[in-house]
Chain A
Amino acid sequence: MIVRISDDAVALACGADAVAAAFENAGAEVQRVSSWGMQWLEPLVDIDGIGYGPVGVGDVADILAGKAESIGKIVDHPFIAKQTRLTFARAGKTRPTSLDDYAATGGWDGLNAARKMSPAQICETVLQSGLRGRGGAGFPAGIKWKTVHDAAGPTKYIVCNADEGDSGTFADRMVMEGDPFMLIEGMAIAGLAVGATKGYVYIRSEYPQAIAKMEAAVKLSAAMVAPFDCEVRVGAGAYVCGEETSLLNSLEGKRGEVRAKPPLPAHQGLFGKPTVINNVLTLAAVPWVLAHGAQAYADYGMGRSKGTLPIQIAGNIKHGGLFETAFGITLGELVNDIGGGTASGRPVKAVQVGGPLGAYHPVSDFHLPIDYEAFTAANGLIGHGGIVVFDDSADMAKQARFALEFCAVESCGKCTPCRLGSTRGVETMDRIIAGENVDANIALITDLCDTMKFGSLCALGGFTPYPVLSALQHFPADFGQPAAIAAE
């Protein structure tokens, strides 16, 4: 009998180490594996496929004696059974830094396939798969790779953007903590495709477990990916470094200020060299695409949103966690059917989709399918696939104020609309909340948002208006406005 317990950050934060120690003290063999992603059940204990959770130290004796209540077979749990796991196929099943486990579950198949192809063929395969950048912008990965492939120059770089700063997102963290070799394999494939032999993974400092796992995995897999060389770099607590040009400046040892584009990073990226910069989830999807073929990946999804998206269900939610599914599932299914509604048991008031720069959606938007184009049409964005649920105790004017405050704290300062607009926006929201000249101040903040949206250099200033204006549009009562304008 092997007792499997996750050692990812959520499990650790919920006391998994103490539970694992208690099993070991009772004479059981414990394996530390990746997380299934059912975070409300952490620490989740998996014994021969049967799950128990959340488990405390006091439950260990009962579980070993067969007297504890289980959740049944984990793979049959509705939260798992309803998913289509391509990127998270190993979640819950393998030891994160075990090369044996990785190789036994199809690891390196993608890289081995890529090694039999020409660089142009690899780029074409990624293009045909329809894989789009999972960081938020949704740009076709194959086009980015081909641009770098076609760029001249002896030195090129692969950069993995692991600066997952959006609240409500943790899929990058789970890849790095649960299946780090997959990310390294994806980067090595990108290296083959564009002719780069050096890769950097830029991980935010708020993720110490991910940093440790990636550093261990890089060392263990060095021979497997050689001559490609992968290196972990750690951020320093700047949200804006999730923006790709700011991240490149940070990697170069500079202030993480945004660069004007063009030139695109694909032409002049890290140290001025052609650079592929992709999100963790984009690169982590690549081994599957290469191993199974472009068409197999493109068969999932809807419209121009191909493949699967690891969706992160978070905030005030009963059953929160990682839910990977083909594009097309609706917001309402995710919140109500999969997530089970709010953790507090109160009605859902708003759902923020796409992180701090994403719109607040009312329940009347629950019909929206998770699809890049559908959310754009509804004045929102999918971003990195994070969904944060708020119950009816949320004050949306305060949330709008917070969006601006966050922008003020995290602005890199390079462009005026973001640097000044965010602070003036907080002041204006304070006046609205205090009931001063509400109509005039709402007109002012709407105008300010317009300036930020169209005048900012990057998405931080440019997208902060989404949470502000969506809160104002859908929840006017919280801004001291009559509900009538909500009809539009």
Chain B
Amino acid sequence: MTITITEIAQRHRGREGALLPILHDVQAAFGYVSDDAIREIAHELNLTRAEVHGVVSFYHDYRTKPEPRPVIKLCRAEACQARGVEALAANLPDQSRVKIETVYCLGLCAVGPAALVGDQVHARLDADALSALVASL
């Protein structure tokens, strides 16, 4: 896989409002959006680096540094709070191998606590289920 930023930008040429789709593809391909990527995207879209940086930094999804560990996005919004996620979050498993991040709502609000790993959804998590999920990654 040796796709370049330029190729990704070309893929979206002519689309209205192409910046977010490009950033999604860059993050999917490289795992994060680097300073170099910001520079190249700005060049491709005829934007300033500040404009692209402003967009990257606005949205929670975009990373500006690589994250080597698999990421578990644990929902800590109200419905999962009502179902006990805060007790779970107070005693998180060891994160040397996986990273556990907070997300607000996965739409699994009657079967929480819930988590997202990549595109895979997990529900009815308790301490044991979360540990098993961590061990499986």
Taking Cβ atoms with an 8 Å cutoff, the residues of A that contact B are 9-10, 12-14, 39-40, 42, 164-170, 173, 205-209, 212, 233-239, 250-257, 271, 312-317, 320-321, 343, 352, 356, 386, 388-391, 394, 399, 402, 406, 409-410, 412
Chain B contacts for A271, CB-based, 8 A: 16-17
Chain A contacts for B120, CB-based, 8 A: 12
Chain A contacts for B59, CB-based, 8 A: 235-238, 256
B78 nearest CB neighbor, chain A only: A167
Chain B contacts for A343, CB-based, 8 A: 83
| Contacts of B98-127 to chain A: CB distance below 8 A | 103-111, 114, 116, 118-124
Instruction: Flag if A253 contacts B18 (CB, 8 Å).
Output: yes
Closest 9 CB pairs of A and B: A320-B110, A253-B19, A167-B77, A314-B109, A236-B59, A315-B82, A237-B60, A13-B123, A237-B61
Chain B contacts for A42, CB-based, 8 A: 111
Instruction: Flag if A9 contacts B121 (CB, 8 Å).
Output: yes
Chain B contacts for A352, CB-based, 8 A: 78
Residue B23 lies at the interface, judged by CB distance under 8 Å to chain A: yes
B16 nearest CB neighbor, chain A only: A271
Given known contacts A39-B111, A236-B23, A313-B110, A206 and B82 CB-to-CB distance under 8 angstroms = no
Please indicate which of the listed interface residues A167, A250, A271 has the most CB atoms of chain B within 10 Å of its own CB.
A167
Chain B contacts for A233, CB-based, 8 A: 17, 20-21
Instruction: Flag if A167 contacts B109 (CB, 8 Å).
Output: yes
Taking Cβ atoms with an 8 Å cutoff, the residues of B that contact A are 16-21, 23-24, 45, 54-55, 58-62, 73, 77-83, 103-111, 114, 116, 118-124
A39 nearest CB neighbor, chain B only: B110
Instruction: Flag if B122 contacts A251 (CB, 8 Å).
Output: no
Instruction: Flag if A402 contacts B81 (CB, 8 Å).
Output: yes
Given known contacts A206-B105, A314-B110, A167 and B79 CB-to-CB distance under 8 angstroms = yes
B87 nearest CB neighbor, chain A only: A393
Output the least CB separation between B67 and chain A (Å). Answer: 14
Instruction: Flag if A252 contacts B17 (CB, 8 Å).
Output: yes
Given known contacts A9-B108, A173-B107, A233-B20, A168 and B61 CB-to-CB distance under 8 angstroms = no
Given known contacts A252-B17, A312-B109, A236 and B78 CB-to-CB distance under 8 angstroms = no
- A-B CB contact pairs (8 Å), 30 listed: A13-B123, A40-B110, A42-B111, A167-B79, A169-B109, A170-B107, A170-B108, A170-B109, A170-B110, A206-B105, A206-B116, A209-B119, A234-B24, A236-B23, A236-B24, A237-B61, A238-B58, A253-B17, A253-B20, A253-B55, A254-B17, A254-B55, A271-B17, A312-B109, A314-B110, A316-B83, A389-B82, A390-B82, A399-B81, A410-B104
A386 nearest CB neighbor, chain B only: B109
Bound Cα distance from A237 to B27, whole angstroms: 14
A12 nearest CB neighbor, chain B only: B121
Chain A contacts for B20, CB-based, 8 A: 233-236, 250-251, 253
Bound Cα distance from A402 to B121, whole angstroms: 24
Count, A-B residue pairs, CB within 8 A: 156
Instruction: Flag if B111 contacts A13 (CB, 8 Å).
Output: yes
A174 nearest CB neighbor, chain B only: B107
Chain A contacts for B103, CB-based, 8 A: 206, 237
Chain A contacts for B80, CB-based, 8 A: 167
Given known contacts A254-B55, A399-B78, A388 and B61 CB-to-CB distance under 8 angstroms = no
Partner of B79 from A12, A168, A253 at Cβ < 8 Å: A168
Given known contacts A206-B107, A233-B21, A388 and B123 CB-to-CB distance under 8 angstroms = no
Output the least CB separation between A16 and chain B (Å). Answer: 11
Chain B contacts for A409, CB-based, 8 A: 104
Bound Cα distance from A250 to B55, whole angstroms: 9
Partner of B107 from A164, A236, A321, A410 at Cβ < 8 Å: A164
Partner of A315 from B23, B45, B83, B122 at Cβ < 8 Å: B83
Please indicate which of the listed interface residues B16, B78, B116, B120 has the most CB atoms of chain A within 10 Å of its own CB.
B78
Instruction: Flag if B79 contacts A13 (CB, 8 Å).
Output: no
Instruction: Flag if B111 contacts A40 (CB, 8 Å).
Output: yes
Instruction: Flag if A207 contacts B107 (CB, 8 Å).
Output: yes
Output the least CB separation between A397 and chain B (Å). Answer: 14
A342 nearest CB neighbor, chain B only: B82
